Amino acid sequence: MKIFINSCHAALEYDQAKMLTEMGHEVSGLFDVGSLQRPKIPGITDVDLPGAIHDANKTHAIRLEDVGAPDVVIVHQNAEFPERVKAWAKQGVPVISVIFGQGSLDQHQKLALVARAYRNVWIVPYAIKEFRVYHSFHVSPDRLRMIRFGKPLSDFDPGKWEGTEPHILVPCNSIHKRGGGCNWDKIHMLLGAGFPLRISGKDTEEIGGLGELTFDGYREELRKAYAYLHVGTIPAPYTLTLVEAACTGTPVLCFDNGHGLAGEEFGFQMSKHAEDMAGMIRRVLTDDDVRQGMHSHSHTLAMSTFSGEAMTAEWSSLLADIAEFKVRVAS
């Protein structure tokens, strides 16, 4: 198939473009070409579309013929995802709307209405929370799939975790600027108490962090850290960094922000309070058996829940259903 990705997420576009290309599909898209967060796939995610197409995309006036008349369009959850999905769907192409934890309930309801109006729309939430939202909005079960994020072992290998550096890695872009949306108050409290938190991501050099890391540098930090701390980004149940930490075999600690992580059934150690998290961090820093047990748990999740193989199988099944739909429509 010819698949066009209407992206807004540098890490997710890399994962999907790599997976779909390896599955034998022809991939193109509107990609985050300027981002350095992930390597570029030559001839695919390093290709910048003409400015006119970018502008048309922003006004939902983009046309299939302008982007090579793809067989399927994948739309990431951008700022106006219901309108973007509808703009593609009304042109007759099968559209896959990937939902990954952003947006309001009102937007989810709008997308559900689009899916009910256009039978060529499939909704793919990455979490139980969003899956239940769309089920409650009566999206047809045959066009609603929950597919977790996954990572190929060639990128993140849970068997290669070393745990040689006695600190906790906290990846989060602009954490101090995003404030409560990323539990900055709790992270700031832990830093003030002297806990060895190693913060990375865009703008974090402003607060003594590592700044934005290269892909290789980021993976190396995950492999060396005693543990990874998930800050609990609102309103997402979880983020890609949590998946990447588990797939590196890194022990995982999580702030539960009340937005769905507790219901995702991952089995990570979680807390809503900085004081409880402080106790968890102390145990990770001082007890080798605790660290090894948490590493084993991450390894298990990496090989099952977050495996690239499982993700590929789910996408293969979804695209097969879409191919059957195209045949039925054409006949």
Statement to judge: residues 10 and 140 lie in one domain: yes
The CA-to-CA distance between both ends of the chain, in Å, stands at 18
Co-location of 144 and 164 in the same domain:
no
pTM of the model: 0.94
**Mean pLDDT, the chain, integer:** 94
Question: For residue 181, what pLDDT band results from cuts at 50, 70 and 90?
Answer: confident
For residue 72, with 0-12 CB atoms within 10 Å meaning exposed, 13-18 middle and 19 or more buried, which class applies? buried
Rounded distance between C-alpha atoms, residue 146 and residue 133, angstroms: 12
Percent of the chain with pLDDT over 90: 83
Residues 248 and 321 in one domain: no
The answer to whether residues 8 and 96 belong to one domain is yes
Residues 277 and 181 in one domain: yes
pLDDT digits (tens, 9 = 90+) for 305-316: 999 899 999 999
Read off the CATH number of the domain in which 142 is found: 3.40.50.2000
Give the rounded percent of residues in the chain with a pLDDT score beyond 70.
Answer: 100
Question: What does the pLDDT look like over 201-219, one tens digit per residue?
Answer: 999 999 999 999 999 999 9
Q: Are residues 53 and 115 in the same domain?
A: yes
Count of C-beta atoms within a 10 Å radius of residue 140: 13
Question: For residue 146, what are the contacts with CB-CB under 8 A and spacing of at least 6?
Answer: 124, 125, 126, 127, 128, 130, 131
Residues 203 and 312 in one domain: no
Same domain, yes or no: 189 and 292 = yes
Q: For the chain, how many structural domains are there in total?
A: 2
Q: Do 142 and 167 share a domain, yes or no?
A: no
With bands split at pLDDT 50, 70 and 90, how would you rate the model's confidence at 331? confident
pLDDT (tens digit per residue) in 90-141:
999 999 999 998 889 999 999 999 999 999 999 999 999 999 999 999 999 9
52 and 167 part of one domain: no
Task: Please report the sign of the dihedral spanned by the C-alpha atoms of residue 277, residue 282, residue 288, residue 289.
Answer: negative
In single-letter form, the type of residue at position 248 comes to: T
Task: Measure the CA–CA gap between 246 and 297, rounded to whole angstroms.
Answer: 8
For residues 204 and 318, membership in a common domain is answered with no
- What pLDDT, in 10s, does the model give residues 10-69? 889 999 999 999 999 999 999 988 777 788 999 999 998 888 887 888 788 889 999 999
Q: Which domain holds residue 194?
A: 158-303
Using one digit for the tens of pLDDT, what is the confidence trace for 261-297? 999 999 999 999 999 999 999 999 999 999 999 999 9
Rounded to whole angstroms, how far apart are CA atoms 282 and 271? 14
Residues 131-166 have pLDDT tens digits of 999 999 999 999 999 999 988 878 899 999 999 999
- Length in residues, the chain: 331
